[in-house]
Amino acid sequence: MARVAFLGLGVMGAPMAAHLARAGHRVTVWNRTHEKARAWCESNRGMTESDAADAVFGAEFVLMCLGDDPDVAAVYDQIEPSLGGGMVVIDHTTASAGLARDLAARAGSKGAAFLDAPISGGEAGARKGQLTVMCGGSDAAFAKAEPVMKAYSARMTLIGESGAGQLAKSVNQICIAGILQGLSEGIAFAEHEGLDIEKVITAISGGAAQSWQMENRWKTMAGREFDFGFAIDWMRKDLRIALETARNNGASLPLTALVDQYYADVQAMGGARWDTSSLIARLPKRGD
């Protein structure tokens, strides 16, 4: 079993670290709010350090699950002196491809490897250990890290060189944004016609309109219940990264830009922490 340092115990990181501990790995955790790390150790087999560099020292694998580029950059600066030859740094944060490439080069100069490895599957996927991981980096680093990531993942794919994992995550979020807007409009349309939503979904989910979002979110969307997944604040961060990248590479993302503004509308309604299916909240119900 491996010696693992896990940095960042949020709604995704805490259950991921727990899966690693249950799989028998020697886990040392760190969190900016140290009380969270101590609480995690009370419920799981592992250790904690109050300093990120101390948590990383002597680890074979360093896993990060943080918030945004500035968070990743700041934590990496803290742990860099503790990195050494043969170590693999795995960043599960959704961040920019540019940062991933920079950190990969810095890790390489220390004799370590770096994988940008953003995840999809939400809090439920993290708790069930069924996440999808999109990786950028070398074949050797991926092969070495795959048995460790298996503790909390159902699917792991090496997309390409450093940065490719983050770019694939942008593709993921672009697709989800469009699907959820279409599903929101479809449900709202059915409501205005007085159709039985369950029968409609049963009919169309067996055809070309089928999606994970339809199967798992239609009922809560129809009930205007939005406490079941990835928060809008985080989705808008991810879409910001995708839109910034598109401005640099020349890709046209008109629907993504529009849905991002719709999410801003929901934030203004007080829904910043609602899940991403809450796009339907900005559409009037029948009789409104």
Residue-wise DSSP of 85-97? TT-EEEE-S---H
Quickly list H helices, 150-274. 164-192, 197-204, 212-222, 232-249, 254-268
pTM flag (> 0.85): yes
- Check whether residue 144 and residue 211 sit in a common domain: no
* 9 lies in the same domain as 68: yes
Catalytic residue, chosen from 169, 199, 219, 237, is 169
Neighbour-count burial for 210-235, b at 16+ CB within 10 Å, e otherwise: ebebbeebbebbbeeebebbbbbebb
Same domain? For 11 and 32 the reply is yes
Asked if 54 and 148 sit in the same domain, the reply is yes
Same domain, 137 and 258: no
In a domain, 287, yes or no: no
Which tens digit of pLDDT belongs to each residue from 150-161? 999 999 999 999
pLDDT digits 0-9 by tens, 102-152: 999 999 999 999 999 999 998 999 999 999 999 999 999 999 999 999 999
CATH number of residue 129's parent domain: 3.40.50.720
Asked if residue 50 belongs to a domain, the reply is: yes
CB of 150 closer than 8 Å to CB of 19:
no
- Tell me which residue range forms the domain holding 175: 167-282
Which tens digit of pLDDT belongs to each residue from 223-277?
999 998 789 999 999 999 999 999 999 999 999 999 999 999 999 999 999 999 9
In a domain, 64, yes or no: yes
**Residue 169 catalytic?**
yes
Q: Each residue of 53-77: pLDDT tens digit?
A: 999 999 999 999 999 999 999 999 9
pLDDT for the residue numbered 288: 66
How many independent structural domains does the chain possess? 2
Residues 172 and 31 in one domain: no
* Same-domain pairing of 149 and 184: no
Which of 141, 161, 181 is at the close of a domain?
Answer: 161
> What's the CA dihedral at 98, 37, 130, 256 to 10 degrees?
-40
Same-domain status, 155 and 177: no
Q: Do the domain assignments include residue 85?
A: yes
Please give the backbone phi and psi of residue 2, each rounded to the nearest 5 degrees, phi first: -95, 155
Output the CA torsion sign for 135, 136, 137, 139.
positive
Which residue among 136, 161, 186 closes a domain?
161
Which pLDDT band, with edges at 50, 70 and 90, does 286 fall under?
Answer: confident
